[in-house]
Amino acid sequence: MASYTKEEQALIWLCGCTELEPRERVLLLRAAGSPVALFERFEFFSEKVLGSRAACDLAERRRSLDALLAEAEEKGYFALTVLSEGYPEALKASFPPLVLFGAGKRELLREELFCIVGSRVTPPWAVKLGTDIAARLSERFAVVTGLAEGGDLSAVRGALPRGKIVSVLPCGLDECYPAAHASVKEEIIRSGLLLSEYPFREKTRKYSFHARNRILAGLCKGVLVLSAGEKSGALITANTALEYGRDVFAVPYNPGIAQGIGCNELLKRGAYVCTGAQDIFDCYGIVPQEEKTVPLAPEEERLYGILREEGELHTAVLAERAGLPVYETAAVLSALELKGLVVKAGGNRYSCVK
Amino acid sequence: MIAKIICYALSGLDGIPVEVETDINRGVPSYDMVGLPDTAVKESKERVRSALKNSGLLFPMNRITINFAPADLKKEGASFDLAIAVSLLKASEQLIGADVADTVFLGELALNGDLRPISGLLPILISAKGHGFTRFIIPAANAKEARFLGGAEIYPAENLLGVVKHLVGLEPIEPLETAEFTAEKWQCSSADLKYVKGQPMARRAIEIAVAGGHNLLMVGPPGTGKTMLARCIPTIMPDLSFQEALEITKIHSVAGILGEEGIVTERPFRTPHHTATTVSMCGGGNRVVHPGEISLAHGGVLFLDELPEYKRSTLEALRQPLEDGKISVSRAGGTFTYPSRFMLCASMNPCPCGNYGSANLVCTCTPAEIRRYRRKISGPLLDRIDLQVEVDNISYDELTSGEKQEGSKEVKERVNMARKIQRNRFSEYKLNTNAEMGEREIEEFCNLDAESEKILRSAFERMKLSARARARIIKVSRTIADLDGCENIRPKHVFEAVSYRLEDKF
């Protein structure tokens, strides 16, 4: 059984077994002076600070703590308190979560962390870009992100093969939000790291996304925003990151694309322009491994060239420009897609991604 | 005197001979029916009585007993009327000299003695011919349906008196001339691919689907011509052979939806509304089991517009008939098997608002809504759909060259070529099309060269395909190669097949 000090145990109890607001927890701790003191005389401080009597006595508190630790042991979860060794220093600068519950490879927290976020509605080319960037970044960084569809998931998919993924949940570790990504969550636990500051079975609440975003921003060296509308969680993460003094990167968009307004706004305010992993590597003076170039057949080369000029084209239009039958164009395009150079953009349109 | 007349009852698509025996005794006048007749049959008492009277024939005022044999089979419907009337006439010695021994009498009587058409005539005739009967008297209104039978004397009668005059030799009715079946060329169908503007991808997908017998899913925003494309599918399917036409006609005859021609000359195109129940889709009924939409679509196309709107249970019920090409419906009255080898063509919007993936319109759905919408279609059902194609709303001003639109005729020629290749390939197997291939046949007929194998593997990794999806891609590649006239599957065929797969985790 993982051993925790008394102080740690008191904190774990405070965060894992009570349903207090974070602010209340801090007030209580301040009043008590130390977690252990609070744990032992919880009724007293609760009465004094919050003006309500706690319903449980010491023995009950011990029981619930033991139950929690046993459950964590059984499920393979661990807890990292602010007092523990290995608690990410970067987080302590701001409003740190008192306890982080985690599942998976905790040693990832010792690596350099880089955060990639994007809104749930991210255009297909940006999803592909996010996956590519995450894949290349995972050579040097562990990628931090959430678990939502769109931008977050693209980063997860890119970084998972190397196992360099840290995903922070806005709910307890037992829950999965969105529920459709349960299998992704399992994969992350298997090869990466899953973090949450909430009791295991806590459901998501409106504010928990906001609170989660401060952890994303706090953990990492820099944040890349793949896509963000005018109001977007990704923007909150970026703004928090700026507050904490982290580097902010954004993918530039054409004007008029709703999912790119936030990104362009960030760029106007001085965020780094990012069109590929190289931009991030350059910023930190990292010389990455040479990227392999894919050999193209002459026909592929030709169509790719035409598509690059426009960025995005309908298959039929492309076929017409290339003077090929539509079905042959479709075949070449799916060859290019398999080589990772173009993606389907919906409605039989294809976009270039490199 | 006892009279025995043969007529037929229907059980599913098979006719079962029923003997109508009439005995007339002296005694208090009465009129009894025995031998498990249902209400409609019992009601024939009154129709027959009036029909006899109004035809100037005598209704015997004696003790009449009518028996239907075999007694354990439930007799339903009004098609026994003529047989009952003739049998009464024979028993009351009004048909002296008439030979009714090996004749099958079919038809419903009106009160004035006219003969009304019955449903399910063709299946009855086919079964009866198989049982060795070659002489039939049928309602004249059913004549068109019967004229394709051949090898039998079929006398179409207008009314009861006509039947009597024919039987006693006063005014013999001319037997029907056997008509030659020609798959008439779509003269009544207004659909033709040449009227479909643009949509080159979807047109190609339809061609492949028909050539290889694959099922097809069209995904696209509302108003992009999905339904119109689907209506063109029957126009590029190979012409009906006589055997196929007879089989389809049997089903349509039983369902009572046979058109003017009396035989189905066009491949059926059925579009059940999405409120359809499982029973209306698969067939069923209280005691008589009626064929459902999937059987009515046998040999043709079942088009399910707005696929996610159908009840999940209804869609799931399609899975087994899609595999087996037939459906067995079990009811208290028995188990009936109807053929149901149809091509499934479905269409759906990409998301609830319909604009997902559109170039110029904004989709207002949340990812969760889209997921919920798409999840209504189960994986196993999707697994049986080999081709998925996007139908888009591109404005064709963007296509400058005045591309000429091929008509259905040209496409049909290519389809016929591809089908011929498949027939030769599967001559020793019980298969018709590429879509029906199993693992063994794929192994045998779909050799992939090293490069194609490599493509498939990378498609697998990139698109996270399932093992079933792999088999489907190979089958579609085979069909594309057939259309191309290639003996071996080449990489470009595989690439094209891959392009007809939308996200597998749909």
Confirm or reject contact between A314 and chain B (CB < 8 A): yes
Q: Residues A29, A37: contact at Cβ < 8 Å?
A: no
Determine, for residues A327 and B399 on separate chains, whether the beta-carbon distance falls below 8 Å: no
* pLDDT of res. B402: 53
Confirm or reject contact between A338 and chain B (CB < 8 A): yes
**Choice among A143-147, A202-206, B92-96, B428-432 with the minimum mean pLDDT:** B428-432
Determine, for residues B204 and A327 on separate chains, whether the beta-carbon distance falls below 8 Å: yes
> pLDDT grade, residue B222 (50/70/90)?
confident
Nearest C-alpha in B relative to A124 = B357
ipTM of the complex: 0.76
Determine, for residues B495 and A121 on separate chains, whether the beta-carbon distance falls below 8 Å: no
Residue ranges per domain, chain A? Answer: 1-74, 106-283, 298-352
* pLDDT of res. B272: 94
CA–CA separation, A185 and B434 (whole Å): 39
* DSSP secondary structure code for residue A180 in this structure: G
Phi–psi pair at A338, nearest 5 degrees: -65, -30
Average pLDDT, rounded, for chain A: 90
* pLDDT of res. B262: 77
Assigned CATH for A298-352? 1.10.10.10
Confirm or reject contact between A309 and chain B (CB < 8 A): no
CA–CA separation, B87 and B64 (whole Å): 11
* pLDDT of res. B183: 67
A106-283 matches A298-352 in fold: no
Using a CB-CB cut-off of 8 Å, the residues of chain A touching B498 are: 334, 338
| Minimal Cβ distance to B499: which of A150, A330, A346 | A330
Determine, for residues B495 and A331 on separate chains, whether the beta-carbon distance falls below 8 Å: yes
| Minimal Cβ distance to B399: which of A320, A337, A345 | A320
Using a CB-CB cut-off of 8 Å, the residues of chain B touching A333 are: 499
Closest CA to B145 of B270, B235, B248: B248
Q: Residues A142, A166: contact at Cβ < 8 Å?
A: yes
Determine, for residues A120 and B366 on separate chains, whether the beta-carbon distance falls below 8 Å: yes
Determine, for residues A330 and B398 on separate chains, whether the beta-carbon distance falls below 8 Å: no
Q: In angstroms, what separates the C-alpha of B326 from chain A's closest C-alpha?
A: 34
Query: Across residues A278-287, what is the average pLDDT?
Result: 91
Determine, for residues B390 and A348 on separate chains, whether the beta-carbon distance falls below 8 Å: yes
CA–CA separation, B82 and B100 (whole Å): 13
CA–CA separation, B483 and B485 (whole Å): 5
Nearest C-alpha in A relative to B458 = A338
Q: Residues A158, A138: contact at Cβ < 8 Å?
A: yes
Confirm or reject contact between A230 and chain B (CB < 8 A): no
Using a CB-CB cut-off of 8 Å, the residues of chain A touching B452 are: none
Note the Cα A191 to chain centre separation in Å: 15
Please give the full DSSP string across A15-51, using - where no structure is assigned: HHT----HHHHHHHHHHHSSHHHHHHTHHHHIIIIIS
Q: Which of residues 166-205 of B touch A (CB under 8 A)?
A: 198, 200-201, 204
Using a CB-CB cut-off of 8 Å, the residues of chain B touching A154 are: none
Closest CA to A194 of A100, A95, A94: A100
> pLDDT grade, residue B505 (50/70/90)?
very low
Confirm or reject contact between B404 and chain A (CB < 8 A): no
Query: Across residues A238-260, what is the average pLDDT?
Result: 92
Q: Give the A:B interface size as CB pairs under 8 Å.
A: 94
Determine, for residues B201 and A345 on separate chains, whether the beta-carbon distance falls below 8 Å: no
CA-derived radius of gyration, chain B: 28
CA–CA separation, B383 and B460 (whole Å): 15
CA–CA separation, B250 and B231 (whole Å): 23
Using a CB-CB cut-off of 8 Å, the residues of chain A touching B460 are: none
Nearest C-alpha in B relative to A149 = B367
Please give the full DSSP string across B281-311, using - where no structure is assigned: HHEE-SSS-EE-HHHHTTTSEEEESSGGGS-
Tokens read off for B40? 């409609």
* pLDDT of res. B186: 47
- Looking at per-residue pLDDT, the higher value among B429 and B394 belongs to B429
CA distances for B245 relative to B84, B100, B153, B183, angstroms:
32, 31, 21, 9
Position B330 pLDDT exceeds 60 = yes
Q: In angstroms, what separates the C-alpha of A337 from chain B's closest C-alpha?
A: 9
Percent above pLDDT 90 for chain A: 55
Using a CB-CB cut-off of 8 Å, the residues of chain B touching A320 are: 399-401, 403
* pLDDT of res. B290: 87
Percent above pLDDT 90 for chain B: 43
Confirm or reject contact between A181 and chain B (CB < 8 A): no
- What letters, b where the CB count within 10 A reaches 16 and e where it falls short, cover B75-111? bbbbbbbbbbbbbbbbbbebbeebebeebbbbbbbee
Tokens read off for B278? 């499982």
Query: Across residues A13-31, what is the average pLDDT?
Result: 88
* pLDDT of res. B438: 84
Among A149, A152, A338, A353, most B C-beta atoms within 10 A, so best to mutate, is A338
Q: In angstroms, what separates the C-alpha of B213 from chain A's closest C-alpha?
A: 19
**Choice among A179-193, B176-190, B313-327 with the minimum mean pLDDT:** B176-190
Residue B444 neighbours by CB under 8 Å, 6+ apart: none
Average pLDDT, rounded, for chain B: 87
* DSSP secondary structure code for residue B178 in this structure: P
CA–CA separation, A80 and A102 (whole Å): 8
| Minimal Cβ distance to A347: which of B357, B362, B496 | B357
pLDDT tens sequence across B264-282: 888 899 999 999 999 999 9
| Minimal Cβ distance to B358: which of A150, A316, A347 | A347
Position B228 pLDDT exceeds 60 = yes
CATH 3.40.50.450 correct for A106-283: yes
Position A277 pLDDT exceeds 60 = yes
Q: Which of residues 326-355 of B touch A (CB under 8 A)?
A: 350
Position B284 pLDDT exceeds 80 = yes
Nearest C-alpha in A relative to B204 = A327
CA–CA separation, A196 and B104 (whole Å): 82
CA–CA separation, A341 and A354 (whole Å): 6
Partners of B196 in beta bridges: none
Position B204 pLDDT exceeds 70 = yes
The single residue listed with the structure tokens 């709303």 is B393
Position B185 pLDDT exceeds 70 = no
Model confidence, pTM = 0.80
Position B504 pLDDT exceeds 50 = no
Confirm or reject contact between A275 and chain B (CB < 8 A): no
Q: Residues A317, A352: contact at Cβ < 8 Å?
A: no
**Taken in order B409, B410, B414, B420, is the CA torsion positive or negative?**
positive
Helix (H, G, I), strand (E, B) or coil at B174: coil
Confirm or reject contact between B461 and chain A (CB < 8 A): no
Nearest C-alpha in A relative to B456 = A338
Nearest C-alpha in A relative to B480 = A327
| Minimal Cβ distance to B201: which of A121, A150, A315 | A315
Confirm or reject contact between B207 and chain A (CB < 8 A): no
Nearest C-alpha in A relative to B477 = A331
* pLDDT of res. B274: 93
Nearest C-alpha in A relative to B208 = A327
Confirm or reject contact between A176 and chain B (CB < 8 A): no
> pLDDT grade, residue A46 (50/70/90)?
confident
Determine, for residues B357 and A346 on separate chains, whether the beta-carbon distance falls below 8 Å: yes
Position A155 pLDDT exceeds 70 = yes
pLDDT tens sequence across B92-124: 999 888 888 889 999 999 999 999 999 889 899
* pLDDT of res. A94: 75
* pLDDT of res. B506: 37
* pLDDT of res. B404: 61
Tokens read off for B487? 């003996």
pLDDT tens sequence across B335-364: 889 999 999 999 998 888 888 877 777 778
* pLDDT of res. B125: 93
Confirm or reject contact between B42 and chain A (CB < 8 A): no
CA–CA separation, A159 and A131 (whole Å): 8
Among A154, A320, A334, most B C-beta atoms within 10 A, so best to mutate, is A334
Query: Across residues B242-257, what is the average pLDDT?
Result: 88
* pLDDT of res. B49: 94
CA–CA separation, B146 and B128 (whole Å): 12
CA–CA separation, B171 and B227 (whole Å): 53
Confirm or reject contact between B482 and chain A (CB < 8 A): no
Determine, for residues A338 and B359 on separate chains, whether the beta-carbon distance falls below 8 Å: no
Query: Across residues B6-27, what is the average pLDDT?
Result: 91
Using a CB-CB cut-off of 8 Å, the residues of chain A touching B198 are: 316
CA–CA separation, B8 and A181 (whole Å): 61
Query: Across residues A298-327, what is the average pLDDT?
Result: 88
Using a CB-CB cut-off of 8 Å, the residues of chain A touching B204 are: 326-327, 330
Q: In angstroms, what separates the C-alpha of A146 from chain B's closest C-alpha?
A: 15
Using a CB-CB cut-off of 8 Å, the residues of chain B touching A344 are: 502
Which amino acid makes up residue B185?
A: K
* pLDDT of res. B32: 92
CA distances for B233 relative to B205, B243, B296, angstroms:
11, 21, 16
Q: In angstroms, what separates the C-alpha of B189 from chain A's closest C-alpha?
A: 28
Helix axes B226-236, B200-212, angle to 10 degrees: 40
Tokens read off for B293? 């939409």
Position A1 pLDDT exceeds 70 = no
Strands A142-145 and A113-117: parallel
| Minimal Cβ distance to A338: which of B371, B459, B493 | B459
Phi–psi pair at B379, nearest 5 degrees: -55, -50
Confirm or reject contact between A180 and chain B (CB < 8 A): yes
CA–CA separation, B43 and A274 (whole Å): 85
* B441-445 contact pairs (CB < 8 A, 24+): B442/B471, B442/B474, B442/B475, B445/B478
The single residue listed with the structure tokens 């048909």 is B95
